[in-house]
A = this chain, B = another copy of it.
Amino acid sequence: MSKIVNLNADMGEGFGAYDIGDDDGVLKIIKSASIACGFHAGDPVTMRRVVQRAKEEGVSIGAHPGFNDLWGFGRRRIDMRPDDLECMVAYQIGALQAMASYVGEKVTHLKAHGALGNIAAEDLDIAMAIGRAIKAVDPNIIYVALSGSEMEKAGRKLNLKVAREGYCDRQYEDDGNLTSRKVPGSVLHDPAAVTKQVVRMVLDGEIISRNGKVVKHQVDTLCVHADEPTAMTTAQAARKGLEDAGVKIVSLTEMNFA
Q: Judge whether B87 and A91 touch: CB under 8 Å.
A: no
Q: Judge whether A136 and B101 touch: CB under 8 Å.
A: yes
Tell me the minimal C-beta distance from A146 to chain B in angstroms.
19
Chain B residue numbers with a CB within 8 Å of A87 are: 44-45, 47-48, 99
Q: Judge whether A102 and B20 touch: CB under 8 Å.
A: no
- At the interface, yes or no: A205 with Cβ under 8 Å from chain B? no
- At the interface, yes or no: A56 with Cβ under 8 Å from chain B? no
From residue 171 to 225 of chain A, which have CB atoms closer than 8 A to chain B?
none
- At the interface, yes or no: A124 with Cβ under 8 Å from chain B? no
Of A23-31, A70-78, A231-239, the stretch lying at the interface with chain B is A70-78
What's the Cα separation between A136 and B137 when bound, in Å? 19
Chain B residue numbers with a CB within 8 Å of A91 are: 38, 44, 47, 95, 98-99
Q: Judge whether B73 and A16 touch: CB under 8 Å.
A: yes
- At the interface, yes or no: A247 with Cβ under 8 Å from chain B? no
Neighbour of A90 across the interface among B90, B92, B99, CB < 8 A: B99
**8 A–B contacts, CB within 8 A, in A order:** A15-B18, A44-B90, A70-B70, A72-B78, A77-B77, A79-B115, A90-B101, A101-B138
List residues of A whose CB falls within 8 A of some B CB: 14-18, 20, 38, 41, 43-45, 47-48, 68-73, 75-80, 83-84, 87-88, 90-99, 101-102, 115, 136-138
Closest 10 CB pairs of A and B: A94-B98, A18-B18, A44-B87, A17-B73, A44-B91, A77-B79, A94-B94, A95-B95, A16-B71, A90-B98
